[in-house]
Structure 1
Amino acid sequence: MTLRPMGERALLAEVDDLARVLELHAALAARPPAGIDDLVPAARTVLVVFDPARIAPAAVRRWVLSAAGADRDAVPPGPLVGIPVRYDGADLDETAALLGIRPVELVARHAAAEWTVAFTGFAPGFAYLVSDDWALDVPRLARPRTRVPAGAVGLAGEFAGAYPRETPGGWRLIGTTDAPLFVPDAPEPVLLTPGARVRFVPEPARISAATGGDPAGGGPDATEASSPPGFPSAAHAPEALRILAPGAFATVQDLGRPGRAALGVARSGALDRAALRVANRLVGNAESAAGVEIALGGLRAVAERDTWVAVTGALADLQIDGRAVDAYTPLLLPAGAELSIGVAHAGARFVLAVRGGVAVPESLGSRATDVLASLGPPALRAGDVLHVGEPEGPVPPVDVFPWSVPAATVEVSLAPGPRADWFVPAALRTLGAATWTVSGDADRVGIRLDGPTLARVRHDELPSEGMRPGAIQVPPHGRPVILLADGPVTGGYPVIAVVTDATLDRLAQARPGDRVRFRGA
């Protein structure tokens, strides 16, 4: 086993094959010490995420090494989960022909195998299943679909899997399931967790009623009856602000969902966590309360009642009923008054805190909107009403809170990445010496930087492995991509370095055309 650093808060334990991944992950998950925040199995690695304030990195390494030497027979088998499936997939016949067998034989082999959840990723609840009973290698589609429906059962390479929700995908579809693969509000939201054993149980295709109604009894009006309501709010929470214009892109964010990467769920939450914490403190909220993150400004809102607010983050002209007001200070917005946040002059994201915190239902313990996983409330629209909860304390008597204008050149510090040896020795020097430009491909998922090419010495495929916010992946084009809070929890591009957690928030204020410098490369 090889231990590789993934920044200053995680390490990557690399083993020989997927079977050893399953054994190591099970051994680690059996007795994690205090300070271990997440364990993310992947194709050849287990990512171990820890809090260095609670456990020393050396202690983490000793624990992982001791788990690797544990008795393999001591690891109990995971729970057995039955997945009902109708073998009606669009690619069933073609896949069987590619493998040189009949469709009925492909179905029989798939249903007879006992599968194991090796790891999750790609989307929350999407499980990569492997089986010792399955010796077939299924090629992916040459042209991935832009839309794979929820419940589709597919094959790719050595893996089987089922799509928890509608996404793009290149797997070959052989069936359909109605199993609840991912239910965000359930006590156990993910049905197929790492280590679980899975059996696919064939069921006959259902025949729709001649009227076109749902054979389960929903009827032709079921879709209309279940249409989504307006912007969600917590039950009985008072109204505070009505959105007149949301700006370019505004979402509800708190401090996110840490510790759920093994389920395929990203941390998410505010990109500028410091700005959220300060804004909440200025209106008497707990630092973790939900606020509104606004990209590039342009938000306008009217108070439904007397409401304290605070605006932090980027720089723009702020007004209440046309009167200029200050950022980073508590602002009393009288009932009927309009708050206006202008277009950002510097920086990219604002945080709007409302006294009591934005009250929307929690998904997986957080109110944050995850744009990649479609968790949390939708992006704000004109007409949405923000409800609020109970504040934690009084509004502080603050006249001035020290802050600085976000700079056009963002400087961040680096910690070692696990795959620096995939690059020529000069690549790390280039990473630190160059001044990079933020491209137009910059959002809550990640930032692609324009600049010199980071040359590689290895060009083979990297098996999927755990990722972290701040990880700097380098795709084949050679330009770095920095993963942010909504980024995927696993990925297949080598990580040359990782932005330190202490400086990661600065990237929230990087806008297209701004410059980025790395320190410590």
Structure 2
Amino acid sequence: MRGVRILPFGDRALLVEFAGLTDTIAATALLEQHPIDGVIDVVPGARTVLVRLGAGRGGLTALEQRLARLFAELESPTVGAGEVPAPADRVVRIPVAYDGEDLAAVAEAWGCSVDEVVRRHAATEWVCAFVGFAPGFPYLVPIDAEPLPAVPRRATSRARVPAGAVALAAEYCGVYPRESPGGWQVIGRTDAPLWDTGRATPALITAGTRVRFTPVMGGAGGAPGPAGRSVSQESSIATPGNSGQDSGARTSFPEKRHAPSTHGAASQSVRVLEPGALTLVHDLGRPGLARLGVGASGAFDRAAHRFANRLVGNDEGAAAFEVLLGGATIALPAGAWLAVTGASGTVTLDGVAVPPAVAVRAEREGAELRLGPAGRGVRYSVAVRGGLDVPAELGSRSRDTLAALGPAPLAAGDTVTLANEVAGPIPAVDLFATDAVLASATELTVRPGPRRDWFTDASWERMLHEAWTVSARADRTGIRLDGPSLERQPEAVGRELPSEGMLTGALQVSPDGVPTILGPDHPVTGGYPVIAVVTDDARDRLAQLRPGDPVRLRLATGRP
């Protein structure tokens, strides 16, 4: 394989860059066929594959050597972006009503009529290069030797693109699995179920899947579909094919399943009296599903989450509450043990002060745990002995706020059953290194990102030596930093970055020079260059940053 570059992506991942999309698809398949020990996620992009190591699962030098040997064995020729080979064993048909708001704009960009846009789009056979942005969102490219003309994104992104929207941007076609913001040009709609966690494979379209779009009634020009069916009637036609031939057989999927309950007949439960600004349930997330467009999510402050669980004798990965800013009140059963870590503020149990990072016991039924406003930090972690028994989705009880996966945010009156994820007795002593309370800025150590060379040396020095401030735009998806502008190299100004894999802690820089540090609910792929990545051991500090907090970025020493 020619033209391969292996780029650093912080201290736990490498980004492998290829000359074309064909090599990216082939390399992703090779990694699936020959898994590497310690690798917990592989994220294909338009021209890259992001390979992520688990914590304590080896170093990047050994991973780089293993990847270089693996890809040296791949002898398929490199071809252009439009010359994408079709896999032989899977095809999906998607019914579309071509009545999108941007049909006229696409027709103008292509220099043809609206009817011709519909004809050309439906006549094209597509293949899924990768899945990103949101769970089940496919990035489709034409298989045809002469691809369709590129379509620019909208000048202004829409705040709401409905589920089922069929849209174009650059050389890609995509289908929105759920309502979300978006800047792609919408040309039609479908009710084909792009995403369903009740299926064995939740994403209808995955990397390598061939796709054909079928016009149905309601589109531009009034072109009816087969037998004049509506979109809803046609959606059942989305089926797999065999040996490259379309199949009329329908796909059968298993019934929706949840993880079995771990509590017995005498289960206890806690009740949310007041949820405060935002109370979520989290465990340590769902890594390993990026190929479906699903991020890891999980507790933002992983160290605080693990510590709270240890204090009450739980397994470290047991589900617990994550409470934003305080203001929450939770009623506990008699005899329940609990611990509060993370943010600090006034915390009481039935009016008696609860010391931080200490296990305490509720002495009566309905004992009220009150979390006052956080005086330092942003997120409390509250663990109750046994853990929280809520339905798991894709193997995790975590709420992904961007993808809308996992248990919904808790509301007043909600009852949560306690599980039995107990690892042992409540420890008499637990040692945990905590950050000292400082008046100065929070320090975050970083390592170079894969697109460091897009930025000037002066920008790199400003990033590391000037002060930053956390902006009001900070949540679980990302933390925007206010400060100096990070300027690109002249040759990178106005340059578009093909979508590539992202990780929590990545410092994406938008075209205006403003960096955003990605949080645990970030999109799986992104199109802004990553100049640096927060190290894994500093990542938990991101969870406790609040608007207005000063931040300093420091280059990590030593090899990852």
- d(CA) in 2 for partners of 1:77 and 1:276? 46
Once the two structures are TM-superposed, the CA of residue 384 in structure 1 deviates from its matched residue by 1.4
Scaled by the length of structure 1, what TM-score is found? 0.89
Please name the residue that 1:513 is paired with.
548
- Which AA in structure 1 matches 2:127? T
Distance 1:138 1:428, change over 3 A: closer
- SS of corresponding position for 1:63: helix
Corresponding residue for residue 7 of structure 2: 4
Q: Which moved more, 1:438-447 or 1:66-75?
A: 66-75
Identify unmatched segments of 5+ residues in structure 2. Answer: 78-84, 225-230, 234-258
Correspondence list, 1:270-309, <5 A: 270-309=299-338
Cα distance change on mapping 1:475 and 1:343 into 2, 3 Å: same
Cα RMSD (Å) of the superposition?
A: 2.6
Partner of residue 61, structure 1: 64
- Match 2:357 to one of 328, 348, 353: 328
Q: Percent identity?
A: 49
**Aligned match for 2:157, one of 124, 134, 144:** 144
Q: Which amino acid aligns with 2:34?
A: R
Q: 1:402 to 1:64 in 2, by over 3 A?
A: closer
- Deviation, 1:17, is 2.4
Q: 1:101 aligns with which of 112, 136, 139?
A: 112
Superimposed CA distance per residue, residues 438-457 of structure 1 (whole angstroms, 9 cap, x where no aligned partner)? 12111111111222222221
Does the CA contact (< 8 Å) of 1:328 and 1:401 recur in 2? no
Residue 448 (structure 1) aligned with residue 480 (structure 2): yes
For the structure 1 residues 276 and 304, does the alpha-carbon distance in structure 2 shift closer, same or farther, using more than 3 Å as the test? same
Q: Which residue does 1:425 correspond to in 2?
A: 457
1:383 alignment partner in structure 2: 413
1:177 and 2:209 aligned? no
The answer to whether the aligner puts 1:20 opposite 2:23 as a matched pair is: yes
Partner amino acid, structure 2, of 1:202: P
Cα shift at 1:271: 0.9
Deviates more, 1:147-156 or 1:15-24: 15-24
Other structure's SS at 2:551 match: strand
Taking the aligned partners of 1:62 and 1:332, their CA distance within structure 2 comes to 52
> Residue 280 of structure 1: CA displacement?
0.9
CA contact 1:282–1:395 (8 Å) conserved in 2 = no
**AA matched with 1:489:** V
- Corresponding letter in the other structure for 1:374: A
Query: Aligned runs of 1:35-114 on 2, under 5 Å?
Result: 35-51=38-54, 53-69=56-72, 70-72=74-76, 77=88, 79-114=90-125
Spell out the pairing of 1:213-292 with structure 2 (5 A cutoff).
Answer: 238-292=267-321
Judge conservation of contact 1:347–1:407 (CA < 8 Å) in 2: no
Specify the SS of the correspondent of 2:484: coil
Residue of structure 1 in register with 2:82 after alignment: none
- 1:443-482 aligned at under 5 Å gives the runs 443-457=475-489, 458-459=492-493, 460-482=495-517
Deviations 1:152-199 (A, max 9, x none): 111222111111001122222222222221113432111111122212
Matched, 1:348 2:383: no
What are the superposed Cα offsets for residues 217-269 of structure 1, whole Å, 9 maximum, x if unpaired? xxxxxxxxxxxxxxx99697745221111122211111011122222111111
| 3-state SS, counterpart of residue 109 of structure 1 | helix
Provide the rounded CA distance (Å) in 1 between the counterparts of 2:156 and 2:548.
33
Which amino acid in 2 is paired with 1:340? R
Paired letter, 1:303? L
Count of residue pairs the alignment pairs up:
500
1:272 CA displacement:
0.7
Amino acid at match of 1:249: L
Mapped partners of 2:423, 2:40: distance in 1: 29
Equivalent-residue separation in structure 2 for 1:52 and 1:236 (angstroms):
30
- Which sections of structure 1, spanning at least 5 residues, go unmatched? 208-213, 217-231
Query: 1-side partners of 2:155 and 2:485: how far apart?
Result: 28
Rounded to whole Å, the distance in 1 between the matches of 2:427 and 2:280 is: 28
Partner of 2:520: 485
Q: For residues 151 and 178 of structure 2, what CA distance do their matches in structure 1 show?
A: 22
Q: 1:166 aligns with which of 172, 176, 179?
A: 179
